[in-house]
A and B are shown apart, each in its own frame.
Chain A
Amino acid sequence: MKQSSVVDLLLLLLAIALLATPAFSDLVLSKVERRIDVTSQIARVTKTLKVVNSGSESVSEFILTFPKFLGNNLAYLSVAHSEGKGKSKRTLVNLSVREADSKGIPDSISVYSVTLPKSLSKGDTLTLEVVAAFTNVLQPFPEKITQGEIHLVMLQESAQYLSPYAVESQSLSIKLPNARIESYTKLENTKLQGSELKYGPYKNLQSYSYSPIVVHFESKAAFAVAEKLVREIEVSHWGNVQVTEHYNVVHRGAQLRGEFSRLDFQARPNPRGASAFRHLLARLPPRAHSIYYRDDIGNISTSEMQSDSKKTELLIEPRFPLFGGWKTFFTIGYGLPLSDFLFASEGKRFLNISFGSPILDLVTEKLIVQVVLPEGSKDISVATPFTVKQFQEIKYSHLDIAGRPVVVLEKNNVVPDHNQHVQVYYKFSNINLLSEPLMLISGFFFLFITCIIYTRADFSISKSSPTYLAKLQWDEVLATLQEVQSIIQKCLATHDKLEASLRDLSRTGDIQTCKAARKSTDSLLKDFSKELKPLLGFLQSSPIASHISPKVEELVAKEKELEEKLMAKHTTVVEGYEKKSSGRDIENRIASQQQKIIALRQEIEDLLEFIDEI
């Protein structure tokens, strides 16, 4: 407060001192209308300037001035002039604005120069529309309040338009929030109509006229300021634009003094928590999906989302209500469909995406936008409607090898007026899309190939070491065992055939075929036992198979026994049929044999299982 009042004083003195200096040029402002909107934390100034060239030379430059304490907080400035005549035909054309040297202009004044669309010759008039947004000009006063007090802020301005040009007629209107107005500077022609405060009109003012005014009023707006906002926009050509935004939000209103009582806040939220804000509204692009809202320590469950075809509204509530001076941190993230934001032009692709934060009425002190382009993008260029600091980085993510190019845009003091689209142009061929899946596929392919090679190949270092030889022998033993098993299986199958022939016999009574079957099985079984012999001999001779060979022998012996029993049964049955004895008789005769056969078969299977497990 002290500083700014000193500045005011200086300004006043300067203004008086400057009265004598010659006019900056021959331009005259025939009419100036200023409207200041302070309903939010941002002071938004709209000016309509009617410029007349009263001199003889044509002029192509127009100077805009602000007192320094405002100029330092200038976040956004745009100048447009209206073309065409008649209200319906008016179109606004933006003009280029740059910060100019303050030659011959006092230090306490910020100077911006506007290049006019065409030089203004003698007697011509031009209407300029100036929009300027200032942050931090609504000073909380008192600077610290308790939970129950109302939030008062103060605005300093000049009732008269500060300009290097003479002004013929001017007026100022200040739109205040619909609440208490503590005080305001009363000058001549001051009127307060509802929540609108009017100064002027004032006629025929010299250049650099200045008359300070102060308005002290209650503000219920959320003074939400993001000290730092990092927006990461990641483009994936698989169809998604992923936006992740990290906010460091602080309440820049009057600081909370003393206790915070949850009781008062809950029981009487209006008087006892009016200066706090509980939520922020983010207006995301339509078709935003997979939205999340979290912070360092996890998900924040207090948020609401509404979406329709035109917009997606996300009402986010920080973990705790923010009182003056309180800070918080959170992250929101969402995915957007690629087709809404990525376009192609002249062999290049461009991403067209809004620059600022989607949260309404949020001032960002430092905004960093990182546009992460897919790996393999080339020829990157950026088009922005205003100047930003730019540079490029590389980011490694999701199996990258070369890394993804990142375009970083940095800007300080960003207000919602900066929410304009920026374009990032780049070249990218779709084949690069396949590189990562191919990498994965080949990775697994080689993994399996190595597995196969490892299991097939022989990696033993010494081919003559006892363990290696033992292993070779063991392999042989296993192979022999398998042969034995397969032969036994075949035997069992033959047994089954024999049984089947018996069944046929019972159905058809054809003894001859049954006998024939028996003969053939006989010869088969003999062949098998011949085949078995060398294998058994090998197993017995091999020292490493010493603990297996008894089992195998037992198996073979059991098999033999089973064979004999089967044969005996077969003979009995066939004999029975030959003697035409009754079925019951035969059954009685073979009953004991049958039991033994079943038991033997079970034993053989157990043995087979045992050998299997080796």
Chain B
Amino acid sequence: MAALESPQPGTPTAMRNAFGNVLSVLILVLIGVLAFSIRLFSVIKYESVIHEFDPYFNYRVTQFLSKNGIYEFWNWFDDRTWYPLGRVIGGTVYPGLTLTAGTIWWVLNSLNIPLSVETVCVFTAPVFSAFASWATYLLTKEVKGSGAGLAAAALLAMVPSYISRSVAGSYDNEAVAIFALIFTFYLYIKTLNTGSLFYATLNALAYFYMVCSWGGYTFIINLIPMHALLCIVTGRYSPRLYIAYAPLVVLGTLLAALVPVVGFNAVLTSEHFASFLVFIIIHVVALVYYIKGILSPKMFKVAVTLVVSIGMVVCFIVVAILVALVASSPTGGWSGRSLSLLDPTYASKYIPIIASVSEHQPPTWPSYFMDINVLAFLVPAGIIACFSPLSDASSFVVLYIVMSVYFSGVMVRLMLVLAPAACIMSGIALSQAFDVFTGSIKYQLGALSNSTDDTEDNTSTNNAPKDDASAGKTDKGEEIVKERPSKKGKKKEREPADKPSVKSKIKKKALVLPLEASIVALLLLIMLGAFYVIHCVWAAAEAYSAPSIVLTSQSRDGLHVFDDFRESYAWLSHNTDVDDKVASWWDYGYQTTAMANRTVIVDNNTWNNTHIATVGTAMSSPEKAAWEIFNSLDVKYVLVVFGGLIGYPSDDINKFLWMVRIGGGVFPHIKEADYLRDGQYRIDSEATPTMLNCLMYKLSYYRFVETDGKGYDRVRRTEIGKKNFKLTHFEEVFTSHHWMVRIYKLKPPRNRIRGRAKKLKSKTSSGLSSKSVKKNPWI
């Protein structure tokens, strides 16, 4: 900002600097406030509540942490999920988020500020997005100066892609991880610019925090080596690069191995190998530079040939060993999620569970516009700006954007990694554009006033009125110049985005644009920024604020609230025994354990495919077989989500094909084809008998026909196929107000045996005793 101000003659530059700094701090504070408050729409429109699925798990873990302390947390074996297997939470969870929120809660409470764990969890994400925008400022400042930094921070504060993961209540790993990601990058660039070991150590610590927070840390540990390699290849090696890179790998890997969920993976899996390889390379290069320094050019040439030949052999051996190691593991040492990143078709081929999650699908073009909006157009300008001149820092940002564009193209979810990069690029573009335009306006106005002076010289007497006019003009011009910076200062937090205008970028600073063109371009930039702001606020308010456990619909009678999920979780938690097991599709596992406090069979942490397949098989089996599977799992209640009555589309019937697929993947007697009629998934009268007799169908549509006499399903827009049927092994115990959640209880086996005994009495001839209930039910 300071750079953009017009120098006022007479004012000491120290004052100007101080003023610029104060202004920057003020703007940064306002950006923080903006980042925090734009994420509060969900609290204002709905309530202060945890959103969606995974955040409920994190919330539950945080509750456990705040209640039992850190040591209990590391050793926590959770027996209320994945029954009867359980899950070692302490060792399988990224603890960064929960530790952060737990620490905040602990600090607040030791200051006697009585905030509940829930409140802390709800507001963690907005607070950290403020931190993230400040980190963006720091990073961009290192790359292209503070003007670009402020623009980038303001853009990031409200980029929809990031808002979607960090609204109040969206208590997920990404909430803190994005901050950690940007901050790690900032420290890396800072070390690269200063060559200070202090920052290198901080960088390793920031990396450690990132490893604690999110599995996306592999992005860092691959991107930074790539950049180091890029620098080496393009002849930009310097001791600063060495200091920035080598300590990070050593300390970072050591620290990463301390996180239980990573552990030895930090040295064993392929995701980390790139960093080690570059670590070796950078040492070789450093050695070469060192030797070059102490040897004469001739000797050096000899040494090079010697070292290269030996080095080639060593490298070959090392690479061979690595390849052998990697090839010996079935997935090539890569985890399934990483593999599906490298090969976008991998998941859909081999791991239906990963493919079944909608956020793992590739994004569509509109979603780019939705999530980063005008930034998509500003990014190319930013890239160009980064190339003039290209520094270590700006080449890193360019590499970052290129990689994140690729990853976001593979998975919708990774759009989140793209957003900061896009903001940084657009911030640079905007700042440069503003520089050019305001600079040329300033210049033109200066020239204008001079030229009017000159004309005065020859047109002597009758010039008085004209002279006044021109004087007025220059005054005005000066005013504009003076006002612009302050206006811009205010604008930064309010309407920060602007147009790139590639033309302006190409022109050097010395090149001056015509006055009118500059003013028009500035206006256009401001309009574009206003458009971005409007879009972001709209996205924050309308698109990304729904907590998804409470649904609302606007009808003629006003707002209608669908609070069925919590209704039935509350029912479960108060009216069933505390040790009862509840079976449902895995989507609802986290919520059931967190809100209803009941043991579940499977949950959103999809670590055991077979177990999920078992539940999928039960849901797609006929009633009796399903009863046997569930009974063998000690299940007392079965929960299904049904949207047919009110038209809630993401219900279990719509997810049912995935249950069949996942179930069939492990238990081959479930065949997807049995559930499809001519390759079509349908539940109307054309549906296959297997479909109409499976448990999911029956539990969803039990007595549904009596609501309107026809059984019209509002989601599938058809009448259901099988209308009147009775349940023999299950009984309805609870259905929520809008029928969205239906809970069934397994009828106790006693009844069945009695029924059988009666039958036996009536038909004495069939003397066979009841078949063993214990027979393995899913073969």
Partner of B446, one of A302, A325, A582, A601: A601
A320 contacts B567, C-beta separation under 8 Å: yes
Cα A339 to Cα B595 with chains together (Å): 40
Partner of B732, one of A259, A298, A319, A401: A259
Cβ distance A368 to chain B, nearest Cβ, rounded Å: 18
Which residues of A have CB within 8 Å of B112? Answer: 396-401
Interface readout for A238-262 with B: 1 if CB under 8 Å, 0 if not? 0000000000000000000011111
A329 contacts B574, C-beta separation under 8 Å: yes
Cα A606 to Cα B443 with chains together (Å): 12
Which residues of A have CB within 8 Å of B455? Answer: 587
Does chain A have a CB within 8 A of B41? no
Which residues of B have CB within 8 Å of A451? Answer: none
- B16 — nearest CB in chain A belongs to which residue? A612
Q: How large is the interface on A (under 10, 10 to 19, 20 to 34, 35 or more residues)?
A: 35 or more
Does chain A have a CB within 8 A of B734? yes
- A486 — nearest CB in chain B belongs to which residue? B12
Does chain A have a CB within 8 A of B765? no
B9 contacts A496, C-beta separation under 8 Å: yes
Partner of B571, one of A319, A582, A609: A319
Does chain B have a CB within 8 A of A89? no
The stretch of B314-322, B676-684, B735-743 that contacts the partner chain: B735-743
Cβ distance A439 to chain B, nearest Cβ, rounded Å: 11
Interface residues of B in 457-478 (CB under 8 A from A): 457-460
B2 contacts A612, C-beta separation under 8 Å: yes
Does chain A have a CB within 8 A of B733? yes
A587 contacts B457, C-beta separation under 8 Å: yes
Does chain A have a CB within 8 A of B506? no
Does chain A have a CB within 8 A of B359? no
- B454 — nearest CB in chain A belongs to which residue? A587
Cβ distance A137 to chain B, nearest Cβ, rounded Å: 26
A262 contacts B458, C-beta separation under 8 Å: no
Partner of A327, one of B47, B563, B574, B707: B574
Cα A261 to Cα B742 with chains together (Å): 10
B9 contacts A489, C-beta separation under 8 Å: yes
B566 contacts A259, C-beta separation under 8 Å: no
**Given A263-B706, A582-B458, A583-B460, CB of A398 within 8 Å of CB of B567:** no
Does chain B have a CB within 8 A of A186? no
Interface residues of A in 257-275 (CB under 8 A from B): 258-263, 267
Which residues of A have CB within 8 Å of B561? Answer: 301
B17 contacts A612, C-beta separation under 8 Å: yes
Does chain B have a CB within 8 A of A461? no
Partner of A260, one of B114, B447, B735: B735
Does chain B have a CB within 8 A of A506? yes
**Given A258-B731, A260-B734, CB of A586 within 8 Å of CB of B571:** no
Which residues of A have CB within 8 Å of B3? Answer: 609, 612-613
Which residues of B have CB within 8 Å of A396? Answer: 112, 114
Interface residues of B in 667-716 (CB under 8 A from A): 703, 706-707
Cβ distance A513 to chain B, nearest Cβ, rounded Å: 16
Cα A329 to Cα B49 with chains together (Å): 17
Does chain A have a CB within 8 A of B450? yes
Does chain B have a CB within 8 A of A156? no
Does chain B have a CB within 8 A of A499? yes
B450 contacts A259, C-beta separation under 8 Å: no
Cα A286 to Cα B276 with chains together (Å): 72
Does chain B have a CB within 8 A of A531? no
B566 contacts A506, C-beta separation under 8 Å: no
- A300 — nearest CB in chain B belongs to which residue? B563
- A584 — nearest CB in chain B belongs to which residue? B458
Cβ distance A163 to chain B, nearest Cβ, rounded Å: 44
Partner of B458, one of A295, A319, A586, A606: A586
Does chain B have a CB within 8 A of A170? no
| Inter-chain residue pair count (beta carbon < 8 A) | 138
Interface residues of A in 585-603 (CB under 8 A from B): 586-587, 590-591, 594, 598, 601-602
Cβ distance B478 to chain A, nearest Cβ, rounded Å: 13
Interface residues of A in 561-614 (CB under 8 A from B): 573, 582-584, 586-587, 590-591, 594, 598, 601-602, 605-606, 608-609, 612-613
Does chain B have a CB within 8 A of A503? yes
Cβ distance B631 to chain A, nearest Cβ, rounded Å: 19
Interface readout for B5-44 with A: 1 if CB under 8 Å, 0 if not? 0010110111011000000000000000000000000000
A608 contacts B457, C-beta separation under 8 Å: no
Which residues of A have CB within 8 Å of B573? Answer: 296
- B109 — nearest CB in chain A belongs to which residue? A396
Partner of B735, one of A262, A328, A397, A506: A262
- A325 — nearest CB in chain B belongs to which residue? B575
Cα A582 to Cα B457 with chains together (Å): 9
**Given A327-B575, A482-B14, CB of A506 within 8 Å of CB of B457:** yes
B733 contacts A260, C-beta separation under 8 Å: yes
B567 contacts A486, C-beta separation under 8 Å: no
Cα A507 to Cα B459 with chains together (Å): 10
Cα A228 to Cα B566 with chains together (Å): 22
**Given A398-B113, A399-B111, CB of A328 within 8 Å of CB of B570:** yes
Cα A399 to Cα B108 with chains together (Å): 9
Cα A297 to Cα B574 with chains together (Å): 12
- B594 — nearest CB in chain A belongs to which residue? A297
Cα A266 to Cα B114 with chains together (Å): 42
Does chain B have a CB within 8 A of A383? no
Partner of A319, one of B14, B454, B570: B570
Cβ distance A425 to chain B, nearest Cβ, rounded Å: 26
A587 contacts B458, C-beta separation under 8 Å: yes
Partner of A493, one of B9, B16, B443: B9
Does chain A have a CB within 8 A of B105? no
A297 contacts B2, C-beta separation under 8 Å: no
Cβ distance B53 to chain A, nearest Cβ, rounded Å: 14
**Given A262-B739, A299-B47, A486-B12, CB of A267 within 8 Å of CB of B575:** no
Partner of A297, one of B113, B145, B569, B735: B569
Partner of A328, one of B2, B16, B453, B574: B574
- A611 — nearest CB in chain B belongs to which residue? B13
A573 contacts B13, C-beta separation under 8 Å: no
Does chain B have a CB within 8 A of A549? no
Cα A485 to Cα B571 with chains together (Å): 75
Which residues of A have CB within 8 Å of B145? Answer: 613
Cα A587 to Cα B456 with chains together (Å): 10
- A327 — nearest CB in chain B belongs to which residue? B574
Interface residues of A in 496-512 (CB under 8 A from B): 496, 499, 502-503, 506-507
**Given A583-B457, A613-B3, CB of A486 within 8 Å of CB of B13:** yes
Interface centre among B13, B111, B561, B567 (most CB of A within 10 A): B13
Which residues of A have CB within 8 Å of B17? Answer: 612
- Please give me the 5 A-B residue pairs with the lowest Cβ-Cβ distance, nearest first: A583-B458, A262-B735, A298-B49, A299-B47, A327-B574
Task: Show 11 A/B contacts (Cβ-Cβ < 8 Å), sorted by A.
Answer: A259-B732, A260-B735, A267-B707, A298-B48, A298-B49, A320-B570, A399-B113, A401-B112, A493-B10, A583-B459, A601-B446
* Beyond A297-B570, A606-B509, 17 extra complex contacts between A and B, CB < 8 Å: A262-B736, A262-B737, A267-B706, A297-B569, A298-B550, A301-B563, A396-B112, A398-B112, A401-B112, A489-B7, A489-B9, A506-B456, A591-B454, A598-B446, A601-B446, A609-B3, A612-B17
